[in-house]
Amino acid sequence: MQANGQPLGEPSPAGVNPEDIADLMSAVSQRLRNVVDFSSAALVSPLAVGAMAQVQGSVMDCASALDVLQSSLLHELTRLQQASRAALDCEAALSASQAELGRLRDGERRAWHMALHDGLTLLPNRRYLCDRLDAALGSTVPAPLAVLYIDLDGFKAVNDNHGHAVGDELLRIVAVRLRRAVRPVDMVGRLGGDEFGCLLQGALEPERLARLAAHLIEVVAMPVQIEALRLQIRPSIGIARSPGDGLNAQALLRCADVAMYRAKRQGCGHAFFETTPGNGDGRQASTASDARTRALMGEPCLPDWLPTLPPNGALAPGPAHRAPAELASRNAGRA
């Protein structure tokens, strides 16, 4: 490239190639030398000879100046060609660097997406859902929200009877149905196994939440065709609301999980978390939820009590002996 952006080897705006200019200067210099070559001229008067010698000297000076100018032009032309090649090399290196940077950014985006999404259903995973939930709860002015804990009833039987490939396809179909059934501002994620979570933003009255839960049950329970199999599965849904049921992600998920267990046991489809004393299942459901949470985290889980043998080693009729209360406290410390 020339300094003015004109590619080397192409005609300049004046219509003359820079290389042709050097050739033209060489031809003009040679022509001037030929014009003042008086070696074959006829004899002339001494006065004319002096004038001719003066003219010849001036013309030769011009020819020499053209030679110097031609040499400088060729040198500059060579330098510009080298600069043009260097610029092309830099442009190629810059393009390669930009392509590599684009590949690195794409790889980073894919890795980040994989870290926050479930590989099977492509939904946000438990970590991403909890992060979004904590962010919403931790804002300067926390907005009311609700969490739905969704579990598929009888999913283990599908895996056992038809294989994990069918079970995986069923999970993918359920994930699509759930995502389409909620608003774009809400988030549906896979918590693990056959459990899904739904984060609902904004103030939603219990009546609206109940209608939404009933709608989700209806949507998920629609028959599913997987190859030659026609399957139907029904979810149980637990509902927890903030700020009443919890102020962080884990607390709300635990409450929604407790409510889901109650809905599953009672066969009522969905249930709200209740703190009313004497509901008969809050402690048991909470214990089961904590145990499953510890299992997902890879921690050992001990029951709150174990039968123990009396000192003589015989089991006598009557109530079971319980292990020391430290077992319960150890489990509570891991929850």
pLDDT digits (tens, 9 = 90+) for 130-152: 999 999 988 777 788 999 999 99
Q: Say if residue 86 is in the same domain as residue 183.
A: no
pLDDT at 293: 42
Long-range contacts of 320-329 (CB under 8 A, 24+ apart): 327/302, 327/303, 328/304
Instruction: Tell me the three state secondary structure of residue 226.
Output: strand
Strand 195-201 with 145-153, pairing: antiparallel
Q: Tell me which of 200 and 24 has the higher pLDDT.
A: 200
- Is residue 20 annotated as part of the catalytic site, yes or no? no
Domain boundary pick from 113, 137, 171 = 113
Residue 171 inside a domain? The answer is yes
**Within-domain flag for 185:** yes
Q: Are residues 256 and 331 in the same domain?
A: no
**Do 139 and 59 fall into the same domain?**
no
Q: Residue 280: is its pLDDT beyond 70?
A: no
Tokens 């359920």 belong to residue: 174
| Residue 15 buriedness (CB in 10 A; 0-12 / 13-18 / 19+) | exposed
Looking from the CA of 70 toward its CB, the CA atoms found within 13 Å total 18
Question: Same structural domain for residues 316 and 287?
Answer: no
Domain assignment present for residue 236? The answer is yes
Q: What is the pLDDT of residue 28?
A: 76
Q: Domain check: are 71 and 47 in the same one?
A: yes
Last residue of a domain, one of 78, 113, 148: 113
Across 238-245, average pLDDT? 93
120 within a domain of the structure (yes/no): no
- In this structure, the answer to whether residues 184 and 50 fall within a common structural domain is no
Confidence of residue 73 (pLDDT cuts 50, 70, 90): confident
Mean pLDDT of 274-281: 56
Q: Is residue 289 part of a domain?
A: yes
Over residues 262-277, mean pLDDT: 88
The tally of domains found in the chain comes to 3
In a domain, 317, yes or no: yes
Q: Which residues, in sequence order, are CB contacts of 235 under 8 Å at separation 6+?
A: 150, 151, 152, 153, 174, 216, 217, 220, 221
- Under a CB-based contact definition with an 8 Å cutoff, are residues 251 and 304 in contact? no
> What is the average pLDDT across 271-282?
65
269 and 327 fall within a common domain: no
Shared domain check, 253 and 146: yes
Is 13 contained in some domain?
Answer: no
Mean pLDDT over 141-167 rounds to 93
Encoded tokens for 305: 């009590």
Q: Is the pLDDT of residue 313 over 50?
A: no
Q: Residue 318 pLDDT more than 90? A: no
157 and 294 in a single domain? The answer is: yes
Query: In the predicted model, what is the mean pLDDT of residues 203-225?
Result: 94
Mark whether 168 and 137 lie in a shared domain.
Answer: yes
Enclosing domain of residue 316 = 302-335
Report if residue 119 sits inside a domain. Answer: no
Whether residues 142 and 287 share a domain: the answer is yes
Tokens of 56: 């010849």
pLDDT in the model for residue 332: 41
CB contact set of 172 (below 8 Å; sequence gap of 6+): 120, 121
Residues 6+ apart with CB under 8 A from 168: 120
Tell me: the pLDDT tens digits for 5-53? 555 455 554 556 766 777 777 777 777 777 666 555 555 566 666 777 7
**Which residues are CB-neighbours of 301 under 8 A, at least 6 positions away?**
291, 294, 295, 331, 334
Residue 178 and residue 248 in one domain: yes
The encoded tokens of residue 26 equal 């060489």
Among the residue ranges 120-134, 154-168, 245-259, 267-281, the one predicted with the least confidence is 267-281
Distance CA(131)–CA(206), nearest Å, equals 25
pLDDT, greater one: 273 or 328: 273
The residues, ordered by sequence, that sit 6+ positions from 261 with a Cβ below 8 Å of its Cβ are 238, 281, 285, 288, 289
Q: State the catalytic residue, choosing from 194, 245, 257, 290.
A: 194
The angle, 0 to 180 degrees and rounded to 10, between the axes of the packed helices 249-266 and 282-296 is 120
What is the model's pLDDT at position 45? 66
How far, in whole angstroms, is CA 307 from its chain's centroid? 51
Instruction: Indicate the pTM of the whole model.
Output: 0.58
Domain containing residue 268: CATH number: 3.30.70.270
Final residue belonging to a domain, choices 69, 86, 113: 113
